[in-house]
């Protein structure tokens, strides 16, 4: 399955490692798949947990709904058409895929892990934060995402998009200039 306009999917991007917590995401998607029948999951990345992830996908009979894609130089064609972006990490530094997703005006559902997501998403005002590694809270936040009205969702998108400015080269230049010219 490629990123296409007429397919409804969630997207997650990162190395297939313990840190990114994709095994947890597959567990959560199992419940979501029962709630929303026409929704798929695409995970883009490579890493040492690939076989474990494939095994879990097979265990849950999700081979037709969960797709692993190898590393991509350009993830924006996938971000462009996804329903929302999910960050399931146990920790981040600070999670530049959040910046990319916000730049593309995509709703974000993120773990409230250390080093970034909470700050970037302004404690949930710019996206949906769930308790790190809590399937119950993840599913609850996903249900909130499904039910949110367009006005409230648009407010979240605008707030997260404003955060993107903090990560531009221009902003870094200004901050470095302040330090150098003290």
What is the pTM (predicted TM-score) of this model? 0.90
Q: Is the pLDDT of residue 13 over 90?
A: yes
* 41 vs 67: CA distance, rounded Å: 6
pLDDT of residue 96: 85
* Range list of β-strands (E), the chain: 9-13, 40-44, 66-69, 84-87, 108-111, 128-130
By DSSP bridging, strand 108-111 and strand 40-44 are unpaired
* Mean pLDDT across the chain: 91
């Amino acid at each position: 399955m490629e990123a296409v306009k007429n397919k409804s999917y969630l997207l997650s991007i990162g190395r297939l490692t313990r840190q990114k917590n994709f095994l947890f995401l597959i567990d959560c998607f199992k419940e979501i798949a029962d709630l929303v029948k026409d929704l798929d999951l695409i995970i883009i990345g490579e890493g040492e947990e690939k076989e474990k992830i494939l095994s879990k996908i097979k265990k849950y009979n999700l081979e037709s709904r969960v797709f692993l894609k190898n590393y991509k130089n350009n993830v924006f064609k996938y971000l462009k058409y996804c329903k929302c972006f999910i960050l399931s990490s146990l920790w981040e530094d600070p999670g530049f895929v959040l910046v990319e997703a916000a730049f593309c005006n995509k709703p974000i559902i993120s773990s409230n892990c250390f080093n970034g997501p909470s700050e970037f998403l302004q404690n949930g005002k710019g996206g949906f934060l769930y308790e790190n590694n809590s399937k119950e809270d993840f599913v609850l936040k996903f249900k909130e995402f499904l039910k949110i009205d367009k006005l409230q969702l648009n407010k979240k998108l605008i707030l997260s998009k404003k955060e993107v400015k903090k990560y531009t080269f221009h902003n870094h230049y200004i901050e470095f200039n302040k330090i150098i010219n003290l």
